[in-house]
């Protein structure tokens, strides 16, 4: 049995934040597959009773602890490992600010947009897709401007704010209908910097469930 287990699936950018962090810090971990698309297991009473009352992935299991919300998981792993940990009160609050912005605006719009565009049955209504895409572009522009100032969100060193922000940004351009890294050049350069870190892996290689069965 590994030290950590992560409930996750390959298409989940929310889960990727936690999976990438576990890999980058060199943790001993294994994925627990959440069959989100076929069985919708996260919606079952059993999952809500025994795994996560919020009915979501990711969930990190560490001994008797079960942690949910990727931001909480990132903070827990950073505090335990000392890696990607923002130091001092100002940086800690700043990291939290970007993690919440990501959850609500970057991943928070890109995630449902990509889901409705590729995976939902039936696929999303054009008006809903347009709304989410517009919101996602607004958030990406803000991120791109921020990353014009320094190599990472908080400055010279990467923190959990950066790990969180990667959530949906490595998925293939055809899933979005536009190329995030090409269109937002500072975001693209920052994604390359993170990709160059030892043990970086793509979400489709890191978590189970890709490709989806036909």
Ligand X SMILES: N[C@@H](CCC(=O)N[C@@H](CS)C(=O)NCC(=O)O)C(=O)O
- Write out the residues near ligand X by the rule CB under 6 A: 12, 14, 42-43, 55-58, 69-70, 103, 111
Pick 102 or 144: Cβ nearer ligand X: 102
Query: 12 or 109: whose CB is closer to ligand X?
Result: 12
H helix runs in 106-178, sequence order: 107-114, 126-146, 160-165
> Pairing between strand 59-62 and 4-8?
antiparallel
Give exposure, 165-181, as e/b (b: 16+ Cβ within 10 Å). Answer: bbbbbbbeeeebeeebb
Residue 83 CB, shortest distance to ligand X, in Å, is 19
Report the length, in residues, of the chain.
214
3-state secondary structure of 125: coil
Q: Which is nearer to ligand X, 58 or 124 (CB)?
A: 58
CA distance 126 to 62: 42
Give the residue with the Cβ less far from ligand X, 99 or 187: 99
Q: Report residue 158 as tokens.
A: 């990467």
Tell me 178's DSSP state.
S
Contact (CB, 8 A) for 28 and 3: yes
Q: Which is nearer to ligand X, 26 or 40 (CB)?
A: 40
Taking the complex as a whole, the smallest distance from the CB of residue 42 to ligand X amounts, in Å, to 5
Residue with tokens 């889901």: 115
Q: How far is the CB of 157 from ligand X (least distance, A)?
A: 23
Q: Which helix (H) or strand (E) holds 61?
A: strand 59-62
**Residue 142 structure tokens:** 């803000």
CB 73 within 8 A of CB 60: yes
Question: Residue 71 or 158: which CB sits closer to ligand X?
Answer: 71
For the bound state, the minimum distance from the C-beta of residue 72 to ligand X, rounded and expressed in Å, comes to 8
User: Cβ 69 to ligand X, closest distance in Å?
Assistant: 5
Closest CB 40 distance from ligand X, rounded Å: 7
């Amino acid at each position: 049995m590994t030290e950590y287990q992560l409930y996750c699936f390959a298409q989940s950018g929310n889960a990727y934040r936690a999976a990438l962090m576990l890999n980058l810090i060199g943790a001993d971990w294994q994925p627990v597959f959440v069959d989100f698309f076929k069985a919708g297991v996260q919606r079952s009473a059993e999952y809500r009773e025994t795994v996560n009352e919020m009915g979501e992935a990711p969930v990190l299991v560490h001994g008797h602890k079960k942690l949910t919300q990727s931001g909480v998981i990132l903070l827990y792993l950073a505090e335990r490992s000392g890696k990607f940990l923002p130091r001092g009160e100002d940086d800690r609050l700043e990291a939290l600010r970007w993690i919440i912005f990501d959850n609500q605006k970057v991943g928070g719009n890109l995630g449902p947009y990509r889901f409705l565009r590729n995976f939902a049955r039936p696929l999303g209504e054009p008006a809903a897709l347009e709304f989410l895409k517009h919101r996602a572009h607004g958030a990406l522009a803000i991120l791109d401007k921020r990353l014009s100032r320094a190599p990472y969100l908080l400055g010279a060193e990467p923190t959990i704010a950066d790990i969180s922000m990667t959530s949906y940004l490595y998925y293939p351009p055809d899933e979005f209908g536009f190329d995030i890294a090409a269109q937002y050049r500072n975001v693209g350069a920052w994604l390359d910097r993170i990709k160059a870190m030892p043990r970086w892996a793509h979400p489709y290689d890191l978590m189970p469930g890709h490709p989806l069965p036909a």
